[in-house]
Amino acid sequence: MEKCLIAAISDDYALGKDNDLLWHLSEDLKYFKRLTSGHPVIMGRKTYESIGRPLPRRLNIVLTRKAPETGSGSPLSAASGPPAGEGSAPANQPANLLYASTLEEAFALAASTPFEGRVDEPDQCFVMGGGSLYKQALPLCDKLYLTEVHTTRPDADTFFPAFDKKIYRELSRSELYSENNLTYHFVIYGR
């Protein structure tokens, strides 16, 4: 399985602020949906909570070091049963939502878990944030799908890690998109 990473970053590598995104770009959301549908997506617990629900038509694997608790309220507490790390889905948990307690476990689940609508060609999984996940996963990923948004956001509180463009070479760059007073490119880097 090809390990991919997908992110939208500014020219100063900003990703988010106050557990939210920095922009709303509809073409970027469509691009994200088109690339990830039918594939496993791996995300940190904070990113999952900021979305608030599993993304449809994808296997959602959420990284957390805390066991999901019984109760009501947060997405994590909607799950009861085994601790995070066992890769199982308790009875009241959506079938396309799994928890993992290490990145290695998340990649193993991504490779081995069947789910409705799974697409095997191309055989890919996507690390989809946030900052802490990107930092850990970057050295393990084969391909980076970066939406490069041409602005700077020094006010952000979450940033994408610096990466070596001699190791990750640019494979393709889209035409320039323009939306909400921002311009951006879809860029693919590969090792």
Give SS3 for 153: coil
- 65 or 116, CB closer to ligand NAP? 65
Residues 186 and 35: beta-carbon distance below 8 Å: no
User: Does residue 74 bind ligand NAP (CB under 6 A)?
Assistant: no
Structure tokens at 94: 């959506």
Quick note: the x/- pattern for ligand NAP over 114-153, rule CB under 6 A, is --------------xxxxxx--x-----------------
User: Does residue 103 bind ligand NAP (CB under 6 A)?
Assistant: yes
Stretch that binds ligand NAP, among 63-71, 86-94, 108-116, 137-145 (CB under 6 A): 63-71
Structure tokens at 157: 């509180």
The 3 state secondary structure assigned to 94-133 is CCCEEEECCHHHHHHHHHHCCCCCCCCCCCEEEECCCHHH
- 43 or 138, CB closer to ligand NAP? 43
Residue 81 — left, alpha, or beta (φ > 0 → left; ψ -120 to 50 → alpha)? left
Distance CA 42, CA 183 (A): 27
Distance CA 154, CA 161 (A): 15
Q: How many residues at the interface with ligand NAP, by CB under 6 A? A: 29
Stretch that binds ligand NAP, among 7-15, 107-115, 137-145, 180-188 (CB under 6 A): 7-15
- 136 or 151, CB closer to ligand NAP? 136
User: Does residue 24 bind ligand NAP (CB under 6 A)?
Assistant: no
- 136 or 174, CB closer to ligand NAP? 136
Distance CA 135, CA 108 (A): 19
Give the rounded distance of the alpha carbon of 48 from its chain centre.
9
| Of residues 82-101, those binding ligand NAP (CB under 6 A) | 101
User: Does residue 54 bind ligand NAP (CB under 6 A)?
Assistant: no
The residues that touch ligand NAP, with contacts defined as CB under 6 A, are: 7-8, 15-17, 19-21, 43-47, 50, 63-66, 101-103, 128-133, 136, 158
